[in-house]
């Protein structure tokens, strides 16, 4: 197996940022726009709360800005209002019940702007 040591560079272009990936010979192999340039203000974490087959109220560790919450249920992005709602500054209410069984525990990951 051949391992490449790629070089990742992020640079400002206009109002956004661009990511370039160079191989170990410093030849450009990929360029792409970065969706968010405000890296320091985004948080990604597991939701705080008990997964007990009945609880649908969970919390974030920090206050979030309204309408910035993205919820991932077992890796699948969920829709706001259809699958979850923001309540206050730290509470997320699910429209479904996550499962906790002997062999399986659902995963709830949230991404938001603080």
pLDDT classification of 90: cutoffs 50, 70, 90: very high
Retrieve residue 84's tokens: 């979850």
Query: What is d(CA 40, CA 49) in angstroms, rounded to the nearest whole number?
Result: 25
Dihedrals phi, psi of 45, to nearest 5 degrees: -160, 170
Q: What is the pTM assigned to this prediction?
A: 0.65
Model pLDDT for residues 18-74, shown as the tens digit of each residue:
656 565 555 554 444 444 445 668 888 899 988 889 999 999 988 999 999 999 999
Query: What is d(CA 12, CA 16) in angstroms, rounded to the nearest whole number?
Result: 6
Residues 6 or more apart in contact with residue 13 via CB below 8 angstroms: none
- The CB-based long-range contact list for 28-36 (8 Å cut-off, 24+ gap) reads 34/10
Dihedrals phi, psi of 68, to nearest 5 degrees: -115, -5
Query: What is d(CA 15, CA 39) in angstroms, rounded to the nearest whole number?
Result: 14
């Amino acid at each position: 197996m051949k391992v490449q040591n790629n070089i990742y560079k992020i640079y400002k272009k206009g109002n956004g940022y661009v990511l370039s990936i160079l191989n170990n010979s410093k030849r450009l192999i990929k360029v792409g726009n970065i969706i968010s340039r405000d890296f320091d203000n985004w948080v990604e974490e597991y939701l705080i709360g008990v997964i007990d087959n009945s609880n649908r109220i969970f919390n974030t560790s920090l206050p979030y800005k309204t309408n910035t919450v993205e919820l991932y249920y077992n890796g699948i992005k969920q829709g706001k209002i259809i699958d979850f709602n923001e309540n206050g500054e730290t509470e997320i209410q699910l429209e479904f019940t996550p499962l906790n069984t002997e062999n399986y525990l659902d995963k709830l990951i949230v991404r938001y702007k603080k």
